[in-house]
Amino acid sequence: MKLFNLLLNILWLVCCGIWMAIGYAIAALICFVLIVTIPFGIASLRIACFVIWPFGRTTVERPGAGAGSFIGNVIWVIFAGWWLALAHLVTSIPLFLSIIGIPFGWANLKLIPISLMPLGRDVVPTEQAFGR
């Protein structure tokens, strides 16, 4: 299974992973420059690391994430989340047009909720998420 995840991750990286990770890195840089939004930049980098190598990992809700995460996610959606979600949607369309890209198109669509609400989530190995 790990070899299969490695193969999927390499193909993902070539097809769209690097470009989506660059988008998250740009969002993080903007957040770091604005200083007040540094927590959003950290979340953006965490998701960028997930987006660049997603197979074999997933996200889970962070225990204790409460109202602060919710309010932060609302602010995130307004300023950065919507265009990252749109980028996932637009990137998935050409992937669906090729047979090899269909799983990657689905993976892109699965990343939309995470791009909209990254705060209060942790990236964990898939085995750990199901073992909770």
In which band, very low, low, confident or very high, does the pLDDT at 106 lie, cut at 50, 70 and 90?
very high
DSSP one-letter string for 23-45: HHHHHHHHHHHTSTTHHHHHHHH
Q: What percent of the chain has pLDDT over 70?
A: 97
Q: Is the predicted pLDDT of residue 132 greater than 60, yes or no?
A: no
Q: What percent of the chain has pLDDT over 90?
A: 57
Here the tokens at position 97 are 């047009």
Here the tokens at position 43 are 């979340």
Summarised one tens digit per residue, pLDDT across range 4-45 is 989 999 999 998 899 999 999 999 999 999 988 898 999 999
Summarised one tens digit per residue, pLDDT across range 57-78 is 888 888 877 888 889 999 999 8
Here the tokens at position 110 are 């699965």
Q: Is the predicted pLDDT of residue 46 greater than 80, yes or no?
A: yes
